[in-house]
Amino acid sequence: MKRTILLIEDNEQNRYLTTYLLRNKGYDVVSADDGHAGIARAEEGGVDLILLDIQLPVMDGYAVAARLREGPATSRIPIVAVTSYAMAGDREKALASGCNGYIEKPINPETFVSEVERYFLNSGTAERT
Ligand code: MN
């Protein structure tokens, strides 16, 4: 079974690059361009990890992470914040809201996937079938 990553990101270029990098390494990628759609997709199931932009319209990433942590269907899914906020306080805020980790934008295409892979519940690369 391929692992599925849910990408919640409102910027189309960022979605394109991130999706490309992850698919190239054998992951299935589903995406949502706002927090409500992302939460709904996570609740449908089959998501192994969530990449969460913090700067989102209407509902920011902190609120999305907090909501995901409250939901019985989503509370255990690893969440990795991906954000251009570089301040230490924002990192702490992401962790406090329920994110497991933090990757800074702009992402480094050379190392991005391996950074993401550190956060799977069972570490390792994508299983290929
Ligand atoms: Mn954004």
Backbone angles phi, psi at 108, to 5 degrees: -95, 110
86 within domain boundaries: yes
60 Cα distance to chain centroid:
13
56 within domain boundaries: yes
In angstroms, the CA 26 to CA 29 distance is: 9
123 within domain boundaries: no
Are residues 18 and 106 in contact, defined by beta-carbon separation less than 8 angstroms?
Answer: no
125 within domain boundaries: no
The alpha carbon of 9 and the centre of ligand 1 are apart by a number of angstroms equal to: 6
The alpha carbon of 56 and the centre of ligand 1 are apart by a number of angstroms equal to: 5
pLDDT in tens, 91-118: 889 999 999 999 998 999 999 999 999 9
The alpha carbon of 14 and the centre of ligand 1 are apart by a number of angstroms equal to: 9
Q: Domain residues for 75? A: 4-117
Total domains present in the chain: 1
Q: Which residue has the tokens 């990795």?
A: 80
The alpha carbon of 128 and the centre of ligand 1 are apart by a number of angstroms equal to: 31
109 within domain boundaries: yes
In this prediction, residues 20-43 reach a mean pLDDT of 98
What are the angstrom distances between the C-alpha of 60 and each of 10, 68, 83, 115?
11, 13, 11, 23
97 within domain boundaries: yes
Closest CA to 56 of 80, 79, 32: 32
Res 22 pLDDT > 80? yes
The alpha carbon of 10 and the centre of ligand 1 are apart by a number of angstroms equal to: 5
95 within domain boundaries: yes
The alpha carbon of 88 and the centre of ligand 1 are apart by a number of angstroms equal to: 19
The alpha carbon of 100 and the centre of ligand 1 are apart by a number of angstroms equal to: 19
The alpha carbon of 65 and the centre of ligand 1 are apart by a number of angstroms equal to: 14
pLDDT in tens, 52-103: 999 999 899 999 999 999 999 999 999 999 988 666 678 889 999 999 999 9
What's the CATH code of the domain at 39? 3.40.50.2300
